[in-house]
Structure 1
Amino acid sequence: MPADSMAELISLLSVKSPYAILGTPESEWVDFKSVSPKGPYDLSTDKGKFEFAKDVTAFANAGGGLIVCGFKAKKRQSELYEVAEKVTPFEKKLVNTDSYKDVLTEYVRPLLGVKFLWFDHPADDPEAAGHYFVIEVSALPDSERWALVTRGLSENGQFVKGSWTVPIRNGDSTAYLAPDEVYRLMNDGLRTRYAPAPAAAAPEPAADRAKAREDLRATLGMEETPVLFFQSAPDQPHGLLPGMYADDGLRHRLSHQDTLRPSGFNWSLAHKRPESREGGFLLSGAPRRGLLIEADGAVTAAAAATPDMLGWGMEHYNDGSGPRSRRISVFALTEMTLEYFRLVDQYVLPLTDGAWTHRVVASDFGRPPARTLGPGDDPDFPFQGSPQPATGNNWNYAWKALGDPERDAYEALRHIYALFGLDISANPFTDIDRISTAKLLEKR
């Protein structure tokens, strides 16, 4: 049965069922592309760059959508649109995602929300082999439309300097914003720019809940312990968070967390219910970890950077440079981070409208003996890898919540790795711009 939504199509690729997608028609939300020896788009030519920029921008100017590479589409006599009729998986080396990002950065305004996803073809298929490349394009908010491609294309396939175009996905094809409509929008914008308007206060970023960190640290008895904090707060608090004490509300979610593993590195405490605390909740697993939710929904979580928490299993490895207990486990760190955002992004943020800010704070990581983190996976005995010491003692960074646990976990770890002078690409559980749940679950 053909896929009838973006979520269903992605799900079929995730479970390696590409043949179930055959028969899906191209539409306002999906475009299928077969792959030439130059890849889905030949970015060595102006025409290829324009086609890619145009396709992405067209989806952004409509309702968002997927460009699914690795399927041949054809129009049947009985169909209005082209449909996916054949799987054509291909080798990953045909796509350089950095080149794709560079094209969008250079030729599209404004910068759009685009994700690049890879999916494997079933390994036991004797008829085909390779991978599928999906470009997921987010819809541009109405307040920011329209996106445009900063170049037009001549009849001989060359960029025309000084030209631009506004493509829009229309059914299974691309339309362009008419010149009359562009003229009207420009004049409307000029009139709005010069019309007097009441001054509006810009929303303030979420405050740094430093006191919540201090309170939680004291409650957990971690005053002398290096601690990694995760925090999330609404930019505009609206009083008591709805659903805190409902039968199936936040308290129930904290008591029955949907964790990746029954006994993994997470924030769930078996047989322990959250304690009511000043209109919120406290879930204490002292002296290893704990989680505090304030009345307005702000969340503070603390994990000890010790051998029985973030340094789990690392006391067996000694690189000869000092105490063995100071090394952070890559696996424990990554899973704890992802589990935090799986809990907060899925069950706390949706309880109130408005933007949220996430924050990660590493406290006392540089205090002797400094915590260390190594590139790659955790070492196998004998000791391998070159761990790097924390380069600061009070590391505090924040970003606007993305609402996607894998992407927010990536942002958190990107900042944590920088504390050790490492790039996030040194983490083996990443997948482009996110932490891969699948890769993490492969780790035993």
Structure 2
Amino acid sequence: MVFNRRKFEEIIERGDFRSFIGEIECEWFDCKRQPYQLDSEKDKRELAKDVSSFANTLGGYILIGVETTKSQDHFRDEVTNLKPFNQNLVDAEQYYKLLQQWVYPEVEGVGISWIASSDDDSKGIVVIKIPEQKDAVKPFLIKNFIDDGGKKVEIIFGYAERRRDNSQPFSVIDLQKALRSGLSYDNQLSGRLDGLEALLQQVISGSASTEAGSITAETVTARIGDALRHANLEDKESLSLAAYPKQPGELQTIFISTEESIRRRLERPPDLRYGGWTLETHERAEIVRGEMIRAANPGYKILDLYRDGTFIFAGFTGSTFLGWGSDAGKINPVALVEIVYNFARFYGFVLQDFKETPARFSVKIGLRNMHRDGTRSHLAPGASGSLAQMGLRGVSYAPGNEMDVVVSFDAKDVNPGVMAFEILKEVYLWFGIEQDKIPYTTTEEGVTAVDPEMLTNL
């Protein structure tokens, strides 16, 4: 049965908390190992932050007494253990009081209940239920001042900063009113802005046509460097992928915001599954210098799409993204294979947006800072859970600090699975791993490709 809110409610009603083990945290489901300690300023802030974040979206549940760890197969935390406790360890009235003091406006309908376990009715977990809130009263802000080691800091949107002598921000009440008005105004103008951007596209296309000639290696290298700098990845371990046509063309919908435009696809790129590694940055695509659009999540990943059809992805290979759930320096194989497949799949949409589809395109594959701060990045053969992935056999370390390889493809009927495999093959070979050890692939009639179904079924 798919894990959804209905299944969640059924588990809670039965007190069968063991059924949560193996489930993945999501937008409406969060877990805490132990109760919030309300004598701690940090935990007060954490409770207010957690509840307000659910209130600002579609509501959800916080379970207290449930332990999670980073999943090897999902870009999420996974429930791995239960920590039920006696009912007297949580005072629900104190939780309610703190939320009233710390969150503005008040979140309606919050429920805080201790539920006994079906295994032992003397112990249980706490469920905090946050109902979906009306858009008219959003956003919900954290409003209290806290004392952090003698420095006064104020929480605004869950962001703490030291108060400057010359800085006098709005009161939380005035700020909330301004934001609410601004969000409403933005919604009213969205249609007009889409039309204005469409007109801008026509003007730009008529006054700044793409220069003839090939896209040079120097140009691609400079663009990758620009992306890495903007994403604050220049000095961090990272993977970069840059797909570009042999001859520059012109994308048709790059500066248009209609639902079917390539710009909207960049903001909401296709993915394979919930909780997987996706290209999505959760940011709007901004027009930069009239030559590209950019969506970035600094420190993690960036997407740059140029009007001539160059598409660049760069992502952090450390433990908070492509090295998720792994030891220091280890690249997660599921993350690597899935992000490369999603890159290849997205470039298929880019090819469809050309006014004239190019005959061929290339992909420049880059790894940076693989030997950093005394740690060598490493990769192991096989799928998640294999002996090699558990560190028992066959781990391969980066042979150098940087890698740059270019592979070329025929743009006609490009297969994202085959394209992804050819990219991954270069990465694995650079690490000294045979291509038949690349996981989540299948071979038919001598052609090897990443199998998206194998990833979807994880």
* TM-score calculated relative to the size of structure 1: 0.49
* TM-score calculated relative to the size of structure 2: 0.47
